[in-house]
Amino acid sequence: MKRYVDMADISDGKYYGSGDMVRAGCNGCGSCCRGMGKSIVLDPLDVFRLKKGLGCTCEELMKDKIELNVVDGIILPNLKMGGPSDCCAFLDDENRCRVHAYRPGICRLFPLGRYYEENGFKYFLQIHECKNPHPSKVKVKKWLDEPELKRQEAYISRWHYFLKDIQGRLDEKNNDGLRRQVSLYILQKFYMEAFPADDDFYALFESRVEEAAHYLE
């Protein structure tokens, strides 16, 4: 999701690597699981993990857990907020996440963000987002809790720049019919069509990106 902001207004002015310490510790208040609108956009790994962890299909998730929204011109899924407190469908009555072990990447990341540059990215701390007044220091890679962090970071960059390239092409074409066709293809190929649970997700993802690149030429 593109954001046009001054980094000085939203961050502490620093960029972090996975080995750095950052003040991001959580006190379990649950505020970041409420009122988030459509901002928790899901990438293919997020949906793969949710489907595997819950033992369900993407169609079942879309009944009441996720929804579709246009993000920078492309239709993508996001976590659905709802109920009296406008909270995530996976938040329980004790402010605990029911899917914490396989929570989406944006949830793992928060209150950190990603600053993309030169076909990669750095982490930064969003200073106005977390409601915890006294966050403890934690190492970035421990906070992210990714079992294969280097592969996951490479995947995140690949997905970001893949979508950015497609968005640029679609903007040039300025064809609503083509935009819808491409969006539906991406939904089918990367979300609806299952990645076998026991196979290497990252390798399968890469093969689908290559396949999609040929389709979109």
pLDDT for residue 116 is more than 80: yes
In sequence order, the 6+-apart residues with CB closer than 8 A to the CB of 21 are: 137, 138, 139, 140
Give mean pLDDT, residues 200-214: 95
Give mean pLDDT, residues 121-146: 94
Q: Between 215 and 67, whose confidence is greater?
A: 67
pLDDT tens digits for 140-190? 999 999 999 999 999 999 999 999 999 999 999 999 999 999 999 999 999
Helix-helix angle 149-173:201-215, to 10 degrees:
10
Q: Count of domains in the chain? A: 1
Average pLDDT taken over every residue of the chain: 94
Least confident range from 2-6, 98-102, 142-146, 176-180: namely 2-6
pLDDT tens digits for 71-80? 999 999 999 9
Q: Is residue 83 assigned to a domain?
A: yes
Alpha helices in 79-175 (DSSP H): 105-109, 140-144, 149-173
Confidence class for position 217, pLDDT limits 50, 70, 90: confident
pLDDT for residue 42 is more than 90: yes
Q: What's the pTM?
A: 0.94
Q: Is residue 1 assigned to a domain?
A: no
Q: Is residue 28 assigned to a domain?
A: yes
| Partners of 126 in beta bridges | 11
Confidence class for position 3, pLDDT limits 50, 70, 90: low
Confidence class for position 119, pLDDT limits 50, 70, 90: confident
pLDDT for residue 4 is more than 70: no
Q: Is residue 61 assigned to a domain?
A: yes
Going 148 to 2 to 82 to 124, the CA torsion angle's sign is positive
pLDDT for residue 124 is more than 70: yes
Q: Is residue 33 assigned to a domain?
A: yes
Q: Is residue 210 assigned to a domain?
A: yes
Pair of tokens at residue 174 = 């300025």
Contact between 103 and 24 (Cβ < 8 Å)? no
Burial of 78 (0-12, 13-18, 19+ CB in 10 A): buried
Q: Which domain holds residue 201?
A: 7-215
Q: Is residue 2 assigned to a domain?
A: no
Contact between 146 and 108 (Cβ < 8 Å)? yes
